[in-house]
Structure 1
Amino acid sequence: MIEPAHPVLSIGKQCTLLSIARSSFYYTPKGETEINLALMRRIDEQFLETPFFGVRQMTWHLRNEAHLINEKRVRRLMRLMGLMPIYQKPNTSRPAKGHKIWPYLLKGLRVERPNQAWAADITYLPMRRGFLYLVAIMDWHTRKVLAWRISNTLEADFCIEALNEAVHKFGPPEIMNTDQGSQFTSFAWTDRLRRMGVRISMDGKGRFLDNIFVERLWRTLKYECVYLHAWETGSQARAGVRDWMEFYNHRRPHSALGGKPPAVIYRQRIEQNQPDQQVQRVA
C-alpha cells in the first residue's frame, strides 16, 4: 500500500492520499491468533446488539455459545477493540491524569442547522487476518459523514487528521461532541478545537446514547458493508469503506431525513441558511 522508495511521493504524502495516519506506517502491531480474531469478530457483532454487555456478561454469552474463554481474555480483547459498555447510572471512573473531561452540551439542545454540532467516534474494523480502527466525523443535524480515517493504532493522530479535513472542507462547527476516549481527551485534540473557538462536548462515561447518531452509523456500516467482506489488506478495507461512505452520503435514503441522502439535505440546509454565499462542492 505504501512504497517507501517511491521516486515522487514521500511516505507522508502517500499516507495523506490513502487517508491513513503516518504513525500507522511505522507501527508494527502484535498479531492476534486466528482464534482471537474470530472471537473479536463475534464480540463486535454481539456488542452491536447488546451494547450494555460488560466483560462478565460478554464472557457468559460466549460460553453459552460453547466458546472456552475466561473474563481476563474477554477484558483484554474488548479493551483492544475499544469497546465500553453503556451504564444505567453515571460511571464514577476518573479520567486519565492530565486529561480534562468536558461537560455534555447537547442535552436539551435543538440542533437546527448544519455545522451547529458535529460528533466523532471510533469503531473496530475486523479483517481476515487482523483488524483496523475507523474514526468518522458526522454533522449532527444532517447525519452527513464529513471526514473519516483508518488506522492500525488508537493514537490520536488519525482523529486529528480527520478533524482537519472536515474543517478544511466545511469550516469549524460550533460544538464538537465525542466520548471520553483518550484520543478525544488528549491535548492535541482539545487544543485544536479550542484554537478554532469550537465548544467541546463529551458524553457521560459509558453512555453511548449521548452520541447515538454515530453509533447508528457504525451499526449500519457493519451490517451493510464490513460483515459482508473479509478484507485481506488495509487498502482493501479503505476502498470498501470509501465506497460505502460515498453511497451513504449521496445515495442511501435516510429515514430521519424523509428518505433523502444526508449530503442532499446538508447542501439544501446550507443554501437555506446561507443563500448569498456560494457553497463549496465536495465530492
Structure 2
Amino acid sequence: MSAARRRAAARPSPQPRTAGPFEPRALALTITVGAAALLFVFPFYWLVVAMTHSTTEIFSSNPPLLPGDHLGENVSHLFGGTGFGRAVLNSVLAAGIYTLVGGVVCTLAGYAFATYRFRGAGLAFTLVMVMLAVPFNLTVVPLFKIMVKADLLNTMAGLVLPNLALPFGIFLMRQTLQGFPRELVESGRLDGVGEFGILRRIVLPAMRPSLAALAIYLFLASWNDFLWPLVLLRTSDAYTIPVSLASLHGLIDTDYGQLLSGTAISALPAAGLFLFLQRHFIAGMLAGAVKQ
C-alpha cells in the first residue's frame, strides 16, 4: 500500500451533517411542534385552573388563567352533596370487571380465530368485522329489551355484559396472534401441553404489548361510556361518573366549579393508566401491522 493510500485510510471519514437547533428548518419545526403542544395542553390546563374557582369567577369578563382558592370548597361539595364518591366507586368496579373479563373473552376469541381452522370461521370473523361498522346506538333498544327480560336493569351485570365480546378487541388480538410462530404452538402440543397451557405459558408472555393495548382500550371504553349507563341505570346510587356528572346540570342553575372538579378528577385514572402503559400501548397497536 502506498503512503498516499495509508494516509487516506488513516484519515477519519466525514460524519454526516446534522441540522443544528437554530437552523431555519429545525427552528420552524420546533416552533410548530411547540405551538401544537400548547394548543392541545391548554384546555387541560384551563380545566385544572377552573376547578379552583367559583362559577361567578369562571364566567367573569376576564376568565381566570391562574389557580384560585375554591378547590377545597368545590371538591367537598362535590363528594358531600351529590353522591359523586359512589359514582367513582361504581365506575372503578365496572371498568375493572369489564377490562378483566372482556380481555379474557377477546383474547380467547382472537386465539381461536388465529390458531384453529374450522367450518364457518371465515363467516364468523366476517360478522365480527361487520359489527365494527355498526354504531352502538342502533343496538341500544334491543339490548335494553333483553336487559328487561333478564331482570338486569340497574345492575352491574347489565352494565358489563353486553359489550364483553368487543369486536375491535377480537380483531386486535387475532391480528396480533396471527404473527405468532405456529412452530412454538405445535411444539407445545407435542410436549403434551393443553391448549390453555399453551396460551398461558407460551403465547401470552410474548403478547404483553398487545394485552396492554387491549386493557387500555377496554378500560377507556367502560370508563367513558355514557349512553348505555344512562339508559340502563335507574337510581343515583348505581350511576357511573359520566351519568353522575350529567346529573349536576340543574334546570335553573349549575355549579360549574363542582362540575369541572368532577371532570378533572374523572380524567386522572385514564390519563395515569395511559401514561403508565404508553410504551406497551403503542407497541401493541402496531403489532401485527407488519408481516415478517
Q: TM-score, normalised by structure 1?
A: 0.26
Comparing both structures, which one devotes a greater share of its residues to helix?
2
Q: Which has the higher contact order (CA 8 A, sep 6+)?
A: 2
Q: Which one has a bigger Cα radius of gyration? A: 2
Q: TM-score, normalised by structure 2?
A: 0.25
Comparing both structures, which one devotes a greater share of its residues to strand?
1
